[in-house]
Every structure is written in C-alpha cells, then in structure tokens.
Amino acid sequence: MRHYTHINDLDNLQETVKEALELKQSELQFENLGKGKTICLLFFNNSLRTRLSTQKAAQNLGLNTIVMNFGSEGWQLEYEDGKIMDQNKAEHVKEAAQVVSQYCDIVAIRAFAGLEDKQLDAAEVVLNNFIKYATVPVVNMESSVGHPLQALADAITLEENKVSHKPKVVLSWAPHPKSLPHAVANSFINMMQLQDADFVITHPEGYDLNPEIVKDSNVEHNQEKAFENADFIYVKNWSSYKDYGKVIPQKKDWIISDDKMNITNNAKFMHCLPVRRNVIVADEVIDSENSLVIDQANNRTYSAQIVLKKILEEL
Ligand code: CP
C-alpha cells in the first residue's frame, strides 16, 4: 500500500482489523520499524483525536514526527495550473508538496470540505494535489469526502464489541446547529459495505448522502423503525448533500435519547467525537455503560498505527 486515502486501499479489511487488534496487545512490538524516518502531519483544519493518535501511532513505530498547522501557519496555497498568482495565495502546491517531501518519508493531510462548491469538494483538491506532486506516500487524516482512519478505528471497535456474527448496525443522522461535512458518514458507509452485517442508514428526508457512496445500502427515513433490534447505533450529523452544505430543517427530535436506545437490542452507542451533548445525544446515553465513544477514540491510535506500519513495510 503506497497511499491511504480510502478504506479500499486496504487489501483486506477483516485481516487489517485482526492485525490492528494484535498490535493493540503489544503496541511497541514494531518500535524500530520507523527508526530514522519522519512523518509530516499537515493540518489545514482543527483536530484533537487525529492529531494526537496519529502522532502516538508514529511514535509507537519509532517514527519522528513533524506537525504543522498549515491552515493557520502556512502560506495560502494555489492549486490551479497556469494561474497568475497576483492575489493572496503565496505558494503553489507544486512547490509546497515537493518541498515537504524532502523533509519526510510520509505526509499525512487533514483538509476538510469547504461545503460551498460540491464539485470542488468532490475533486479533493488538497489531497489529490499532494498525491500528484509529493514524492512520498500520502495519508488521509480527513479530506472533503472521507475519513478512512476513523472508519478503520470504527471497524476495530465494532469487532471488539459485537456479540452476534452478523450484527445490526444503524448509521443515524442527528441534529447539529452548524453545517458539517459528509466525510465521516461516507467512510463509515464505505467500511460497512465491506462487513457481514445488517446495515441501515437513517436520516430525515432531504439529508440523502451521495448516491454513488450509498449505492444499494438500506435507507430508512423512520428513525425509530430503523432502531428496532439494532446492536450498534452509530450517530453523526451531516449537512444536506443535494442542497449542498445547507442545514435544512433542524429535526431536533432526531436527538439520540434513552427512549430511542430502549427500542434497540441493548445497542452500543458510537460517535467519532467531538460531539455536542444534548443536541446530538442526551447525557444519559453518552454517559451510559453502552457508550463506546472513548474506546473509538482509543482505537484511532491502532488504526493509524496499522496503516503507517503497512506503508513503512513498502518503503
Ligand atoms: N474524530 C476525529 O477525527 O476527531 P478530531 O476532529 O478531533 O481529530
């Protein structure tokens, strides 16, 4: 594996989850693999979990880490070829990506969707230009369209907590006051399509995700019906895809409450975090013993570590 930009970059999801769980048992077993090598983590957007877990994963493999808050501290980058750069963008990605590549052996990038121009976001301008011009492998730490490190961590968490061979897993939209990207939901769907599970997506009318990602996954607009017999409730807000980036009716009654969790088969509650308490999920649910949110965040380390290990083994 050279780059990791999508869950499908893994040869075999189930095998990778197994390897990650073995790594979790003894996280320093490959502490010399990255010795003498460096990873650059470039953040065009904020982070808590991704930044710390990827840094910890790199450290567990013996990699040196350079972190840069590119969005606030770097030059504004130009991505268009042939552009007359006489406005506010000081550097072209052609030079920036090649320069960064000289300082590291792997570059990892976080660059969220702008949520204003659907085509621009779909083109994954930052990620794809770094892949085009960097001379080292590129890892996606959440791009416009996907968050595959989160999806892999979620697959690890599902494997650790499932009690039936084919669990019912529900991805539920929940309300949020701001316009949020589709990346986490997209990658969760990509990942669930590789699982042996009864998978259902539930959201209000108007919040349909990209049909090219949803494909033939089961979509149910009645949240309570979707929750019946569920073993896992994975919750995430996203803005409208059709009316791109807009927050259409809030649907505050889509909050995850105890009453809704009582419809399920004693389901585990999952969310990638950060989460707005008592907007997306009620305190009693996120604070319950069925909440896996802290375990999910912990598994971000092993998700990143198994991906970096695979990349290092091919350098
Ligand atoms: N889940 C996640 O990616 O968290 P951060 O945005 O804090 O990195």
In the reported structure, the alpha carbon of residue 56 is separated from the centroid of ligand 1 by a whole-number distance in angstroms of 14
* Closest CA to ligand 1's atom 4: 49
Residues with a CB atom less than 6 Å from ligand 1: 47-50, 142, 150, 272-274
Strands 38-43 and 168-173: unpaired
Element (H, E) at 284: helix 283-286
Closest atom of ligand 1 relative to the 141 alpha carbon: 3
At residue 230, the pLDDT reads: 98
Closest atom of ligand 1 relative to the 142 alpha carbon: 3
Domain assignment present for 117:
yes
At residue 42, the pLDDT reads: 98
Same domain, 70 and 129: yes
Phi, psi torsion values for 218, nearest 5 degrees: -75, 125
Average pLDDT over residues 38-60: 98
| Joined tokens for residue 64 | 């040196």
Mutate to test the pocket of ligand 1, among 42, 55, 142, 143 (most ligand atoms within 8 A of CB): 142
Q: Which domain holds residue 18?
A: 7-146+299-312
* Closest CA to ligand 1's atom 6: 47
CB 31 within 8 A of CB 64: no
CB 224 within 8 A of CB 260: yes
Domain assignment present for 151:
no
Total of domains in the chain? 2
255 pLDDT more than 90: yes
What SS3 state is found at 112? coil
At residue 11, the pLDDT reads: 96
Cα–Cα distance measured from residue 235 to residue 175, given in angstroms and rounded to the nearest whole number: 10
147 pLDDT more than 90: yes
Same domain, 233 and 116: no
Cα–Cα distance measured from residue 91 to residue 74, given in angstroms and rounded to the nearest whole number: 9
At residue 236, the pLDDT reads: 98
CATH of the domain at 268: 3.40.50.1370
Domain assignment present for 37:
yes
Domain assignment present for 135:
yes
Same domain, 113 and 183: no
Which tens digits make up the pLDDT trace of 281-308?
A: 999 999 999 999 999 999 999 999 999 9
| Joined tokens for residue 294 | 């802290």
Q: Would you say the C-alpha torsion 190, 18, 272, 63 has a positive or negative sign?
A: negative
In the reported structure, the alpha carbon of residue 49 is separated from the centroid of ligand 1 by a whole-number distance in angstroms of 5
* For the chain, percent of residues with pLDDT exceeding 70: 100
* Closest CA to ligand 1's atom 3: 50
Q: What is the DSSP string of 24-73?
A: HHTTTTTTTTTTT-EEEEEESS--SHHHHHHHHHHHHTT-EEEEE-HHHH
| Joined tokens for residue 100 | 């960064």
Mutate to test the pocket of ligand 1, among 43, 50, 275, 300 (most ligand atoms within 8 A of CB): 50
